[in-house]
């Protein structure tokens, strides 16, 4: 994996004309002094998917060495699904059998609130490409409810998923490690109870306008402090979704943004040069220990060189 690091991290925001939770995410992250994002550029989407897959297997193995289990948040989308396919290829190779897949918890960053068998479900791609081939046990697979799973409204599904996260947060092997006062307050509710388990790696795709999970620019979800939010009137179909909010995304130890294609180059450049999370939600996706922008050449084409 060719590796580079930029000093263009989105921590030096200028003053904003109005205050909103989206702006507060940015300010809180800057105040915590989170690590500057790394930028890794691969020649094309296929090589990007392969190198991310290898890095993900290594990261999950390292997490299991420390905690006994690993916890990953997966994403839908083209490159996100390609990465899971490449991980599944590695699962089939004995020399890469470094991860105990029976001890991996899988979460989703966002989901479409449509019937379970709809091809629009992010869940389907991840189940077919990785969950089934790797043999991850059903009790460790935490899908966001579909519209036919007994919830009439996406708000109910979001509240249920938030409950699942809070329940997992009490499992000793999934407890989040202590963080700084501001960061840990994201994982803890107003009642002082842990709301979020440990996420070792949180994978995100990014849309051409800079959306991550289902947090779109200048949308209610970008202004919502809750760990899980219902999304309505989404500009990209299907319009009704459930998404992790910034408070959950920024509680992850490592956030990896997977981006390929020229159509996303402008949003990548803006996210890494001071756009706010309200303007480009990807700019607000930061891990407590690391943020990695994993790009192909086309997606990186508008970044300043060197």
Ligand X SMILES: O=C1O[C@H](COP(=O)(O)O)[C@@H](O)[C@H](O)[C@H]1O
Residues binding ligand X (CB under 6 A): 75-80, 110, 122, 205, 207, 214, 236
Residue with Cβ nearer ligand X (11 or 81): 81
Beta carbon of residue 66, minimum distance to ligand X (angstroms, whole number): 28
Residue with Cβ nearer ligand X (212 or 290): 212
Beta carbon of residue 84, minimum distance to ligand X (angstroms, whole number): 12
Count of CA atoms in the C-beta half-sphere (13 A) of 88: 18
Q: Are the C-beta atoms of residues 109 and 125 closer than 8 Å to each other?
A: no
Closest to 219 (Cα-Cα) out of 201, 204, 205, 207: 207
Beta carbon of residue 140, minimum distance to ligand X (angstroms, whole number): 20
The per-residue b/e assignment along 173-206, b for 16 or more CB within 10 angstroms, e otherwise, is ebbbeebeeebeebbebeeeebbbbbbbbbbbbb
Beta carbon of residue 299, minimum distance to ligand X (angstroms, whole number): 10
Residue with Cβ nearer ligand X (35 or 78): 78
Beta carbon of residue 235, minimum distance to ligand X (angstroms, whole number): 10
Residue with Cβ nearer ligand X (183 or 203): 203
The span from the CA of 223 to the CA of 245, in Å, is 9
Residue with Cβ nearer ligand X (32 or 209): 209
Residue with Cβ nearer ligand X (183 or 285): 285
Residue with Cβ nearer ligand X (59 or 241): 241
The span from the CA of 140 to the CA of 110, in Å, is 17
Q: Are the C-beta atoms of residues 146 and 116 closer than 8 Å to each other?
A: yes
Beta carbon of residue 190, minimum distance to ligand X (angstroms, whole number): 29
302 burial class (0-12, 13-18, 19+ CB within 10 angstroms)?
middle
Peptide bond into 18 cis (omega under 30): no
Beta carbon of residue 51, minimum distance to ligand X (angstroms, whole number): 17
Beta carbon of residue 298, minimum distance to ligand X (angstroms, whole number): 13
Residue with Cβ nearer ligand X (120 or 182): 120
Closest to 38 (Cα-Cα) out of 1, 81, 88: 1
The span from the CA of 201 to the CA of 285, in Å, is 12
What beta strand segments (E) does the chain contain? 3-5, 38-42, 70-74, 104-108, 110-112, 141-142, 201-205, 228-231, 241-244, 254-259, 290-296
């Amino acid at each position: 994996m060719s590796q580079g690091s930029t000093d263009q991290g989105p921590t030096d925001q200028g003053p904003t004309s109005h205050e909103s939770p989206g702006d507060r995410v940015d300010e809180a992250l800057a105040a915590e002094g989170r690590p500057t994002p790394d930028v890794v550029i691969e020649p094309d989407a296929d090589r990007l998917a392969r190198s991310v897959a290898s890095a993900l297997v290594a990261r999950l193995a390292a997490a299991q060495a420390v905690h006994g289990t690993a916890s990953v948040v997966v994403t839908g989308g083209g490159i996100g699904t390609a990465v899971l396919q490449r991980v599944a290829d590695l699962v089939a190779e004995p020399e890469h059998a470094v991860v105990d897949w029976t001890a991996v918890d899988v979460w989703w960053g966002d989901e479409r609130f449509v019937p379970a068998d709809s091809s629009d479900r992010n869940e389907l791609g991840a189940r077919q490409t990785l969950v089934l081939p790797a043999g991850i046990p059903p009790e460790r697979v935490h899908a966001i409810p579909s519209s036919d799973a007994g919830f009439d409204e996406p708000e109910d599904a979001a509240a249920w998923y938030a409950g699942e996260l809070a329940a997992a947060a009490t499992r000793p092997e999934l407890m989040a490690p202590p963080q700084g006062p501001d960061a840990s307050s994201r994982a803890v509710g107003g009642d002082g109870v842990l709301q979020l388990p440990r996420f070792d790696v949180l994978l995100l795709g990014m849309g051409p306008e800079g959306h991550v999970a289902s947090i779109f620019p200048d949308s209610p979800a970008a202004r919502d402090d809750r760990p899980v939010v219902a999304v309505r009137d989404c500009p990209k179909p299907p319009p009704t979704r459930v998404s992790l909010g910034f408070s959950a995304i920024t509680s992850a130890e490592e956030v990896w943004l997977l981006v390929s294609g020229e159509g996303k180059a402008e949003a990548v450049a803006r996210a890494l040069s001071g756009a706010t999370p309200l303007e480009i939600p990807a700019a607000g996706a930061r891990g407590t220990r690391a943020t990695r922008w994993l790009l192909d050449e086309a997606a990186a084409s508008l970044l300043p060189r060197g």
